Copies of this chain bind each other. A is one copy, B any other.
Amino acid sequence: MTSKVEQLKQHLYRRHDLGHANAVLGWDQEVNMPPGGVNARAEQQATLQSIAHEIFTSEETGKLLEAAEAEVAELDYDSDEASFVRVTRRGYDKLVKIPTELVAEMARATAQGFVAWREARQENDYPHFQPHLEKILDLNRRIADILGYEEHPYDALLDTYEPDITTAQVTQLFTELKEGLVPLLEEIVEEGQPVDGAFLEKDYPVDRQRDFTEVVLRQMGYDFNRGRQDEAPHPFTISFSRNDVRVTTRLFPNRPQSALFGSVHEGGHALYEQGIPEKFERTVLSGGATLGLHESQSRLWENMVGRSRPFWSYFLPIFRAFFPAQADGVSLEDFYRAINKVQPDFIRVEADEVTYNMHIFVRFEIEQAMVDGSLAVADIPEAWNSKYEEYLGIVPPTDTVGVLQDIHWSHGTIGYFPTYTLGNVIAAQLYRRMAQDLPGMEEGIARGELLPILDWMREHVHSYGSKFTAPELLERELGEGLLAQPLLDYMRAKYTEVYQL
């Protein structure tokens, strides 16, 4: 006889297939779709999402879930079966409250919002995007009300991206970070030895950039038989199964670091998705757990590994082989300092490690005000610019490089940004422990040996799929909660040396 857990699993296969099919449509929209396709695509995505939602929130799911819960009552919290049922329950209790019509409305609003955002960004025309953002914000506020919250409506949204962590906890953590990072940035700006990165502004043919990033991705352990890399204006990683995990990058002739670290960053996400055990396929446990955990993988690879001296001690000779004229006379030290140059600037995804979190502080505060209604959508650009002045000492000259730079709101995601800094925080915690566990790791990186890192992550993070929330996983693997100190220590040590403070 088929167990209840198995019945629940099979009942939900279709939901996961629809979710992944929808992901293919989303990937296509950003990588390939001609402009004319937008309206039909919006309807198609709304249909897939609605049907998936109906299946998941059906009475049958509810009944099978109850029966499965009884069946796993005696099993370990960590077991595959109990975790499958528990994580399904968490999602079910949220989504069963949200009417299908609202899901479809969000799908339509975001399909159209995405196009409007892209046009608005190109034309520096925030008012063109404003009505779409108003609609999307309104839908998010309705969702927050439906889901419920104790302190702040933002809690309800944040919890969908990062369960088990509240707005108050994030605020506390970000305050600690500010106390360490703001003075560090001041010291760098005022006392640091200047960094010359002029060689990065030379002309780097984009085809060679693409080829070089593929060399790096392969060395990291990214499996091109189970993925591919394309170009997209806003790089992202997407998974259609553990065996088809795609990354995107962006290629600018005079800014090779954009493709380089974009690819390494997305590669970190992709290694996570490719590393989820096969046994979780087509279930809620497939795919990475939370956004913060996901971002810990990408940021660890991008910054702690990818912007480290040992990494470039191995890769610089290969980089020189690809770009002999451009890298002519550039020493490892020059290169290392150039890719770690700290400079307050407008664009989050191009930001250095130190200022990056300032970009997140701005968004975290603005989003809270949007959601609780204290900031009108029309007034966001002004609030945005004044917070940039406060945290980074600069004012964006246009909305294109200001409030319109990020894709997230157009995709309907509000409450997502703080997970980037949570990712940095978790990355530093994981990296500290990994370095203790793997003596000689950095010497290995200098020889191009990146697989021990991947193996460590496979064991301590990837193998669990979506079983655990971030606090659960940290407690279990590191025996600690979210901590600001490892990130602050890492930053202080690295930049004291880079800038000879």
Residues of A near any B CB (own CB < 8 A): 13-14, 17-18, 20-22, 24-25, 27-28, 32-37, 39-41, 43-44, 46-48, 50-51, 223-228, 230, 240-241, 243-244, 246, 281-282
Return A35 CB to nearest CB of chain B, in Å.
5
Tell me the smallest distance from the CB of A90 to a CB of chain B, in Å: 24
CA distance A383 to B35 in the complex (A): 48
Q: Which of A46, A51, A282 has the most CB of B within 10 A?
A: A51
| A36 engages B282 (CB within 8 Å) | no
- CB-based contact B21/A21 at 8 Å: yes
Compute how far the CA of A174 lies from the CA of B194 in the bound complex, rounded to whole angstroms: 81
Q: Are B243 and A36 in contact (CB under 8 A)?
A: yes
User: Closest 4 interchain pairs by CB?
Assistant: A40-B241, A37-B244, A36-B226, A36-B243
A231 to B: closest C-beta gap in Å: 13
Can you pick out 14 interface pairs between chain A and chain B where the beta carbons lie within 8 Å of each other? A14-B51, A17-B44, A20-B44, A21-B47, A24-B24, A24-B28, A27-B28, A32-B230, A34-B226, A34-B243, A34-B244, A35-B226, A40-B240, A40-B244
Query: Complex: how many Å from CA A306 to CA B208?
Result: 38
Q: How far is the CB of A283 from chain B (nearest CB, A)?
A: 12
B13 touches A21 (CB 8 A): no
Known: A224-B34, A228-B34. A40 touches B20 (CB 8 A): yes
Besides the known contacts A34-B243, A35-B226, A36-B243, 19 further A-B residue pairs in the complex with CB atoms under 8 A apart: A13-B47, A14-B50, A17-B43, A21-B21, A21-B22, A24-B24, A24-B25, A24-B44, A33-B244, A34-B225, A34-B226, A34-B246, A36-B227, A37-B244, A40-B240, A40-B244, A40-B281, A41-B244, A51-B51
Q: For the complex, give the distance between the alpha carbons of A241 and B36 in Å.
A: 9
Whether B228 pairs with A36 at a CB distance below 8 angstroms is: no
- SS class of chain A's interface: helix, strand, loop or mixed? helix
* CB closest chain-B residue, reference A239: B40
Smallest distance from the beta carbon of A267 to chain B beta carbons, Å?
15
Cβ–Cβ contact A32 & B228, under 8 A? yes
Please, which residue of chain B has its CB at the minimum distance from the CB of A22?
B21
Residues of B within 8 A of A18 (CB): 47-48, 51
Hey, which chain B residues are within 8 Å of A51, CB to CB? 14, 18, 51
A41 to B241, CA, bound (A): 8
> Which residues on the B side are within 8 Å of A224 (C-beta)?
34
Q: Residue on B with the closest CB to A19?
A: B44
Chain B residues with CB under 8 Å of A230's CB are: 32
Q: Are A225 and B24 in contact (CB under 8 A)?
A: no
Q: Which residues of B contact A22 (CB under 8 A)?
A: 21
Is B32 within 8 A of A44, CB to CB?
A: no
Of all chain B residues, which has the CB nearest A282?
Answer: B43
Q: Which residues of B contact A37 (CB under 8 A)?
A: 226, 240-241, 243-244
Contacts of A244 in B (CB 8 A): 33-34, 36-37, 40-41
A48-B17 contact given A36-B225, A225-B35, A226-B36, CB 8 Å threshold: yes
Q: How far is the CA of A126 from the CA of B37 in the complex (A)?
A: 39
Least distance between A44 CB and chain B CB atoms (Å): 5
A33 CB contacts on chain B under 8 angstroms: 244
A278 to B36, CA, bound (A): 12
Nearest Cβ distance between residue A279 and chain B, in whole angstroms?
A: 14
In angstroms, Cα B90 to Cα A470, docked, is 54
Report Cα–Cα, A14/B52, bound state, in Å: 12
Closest to A55 in B: B51
Q: Is the CB of B241 within 8 A of A14?
A: no
Cβ contacts under 8 Å, A35 to chain B: 225-226
Determine the distance from Cα of A223 to Cα of B227 in the docked complex, in whole angstroms.
31
Q: Which residues of B contact A25 (CB under 8 A)?
A: 21, 24
CA distance A17 to B226 in the complex (A): 28
The one of B13, B21, B243 that contacts A48, using a Cβ cutoff of 8 Å: B21
Chain B residues within 8 Å of A14, by CB: 47, 50-51
With contacts A43-B13, A281-B40 known, is A34 near B241, CB below 8 A? no
Q: Which residue of B lies closest to A15 (CB)?
A: B47
Closest residue of chain B to A33 (Cβ to Cβ) is B244
Task: Say which residue of B41, B241, B243, B246 sits within 8 Å of A240 (CB atoms).
Answer: B41
* Candidate in A27, A40, A51 with the most chain B CB atoms within 10 angstroms: A40
Nearest-Cβ distance from residue A282 to partner chain B, whole angstroms: 7
In Å, the complex CA distance between A34 and B28 comes to 15
B34–A21 CB distance below 8 A? no
Q: Whole-angstrom distance from the CB of A270 to the nearest CB of chain B?
A: 12
- Is B243's CB under 8 angstroms from A40's CB? yes
Q: Given known contacts A28-B28, A225-B34, is B44 in contact with A21 (CB within 8 Å)?
A: yes
> Contact at B39–A243, with CB atoms within 8 Å?
yes
C-alpha gap A36/B242 in the complex (Å) = 9
Tell me which residues across on chain B come within 8 A of A44, comparing CB atoms.
17, 20-21, 24, 240
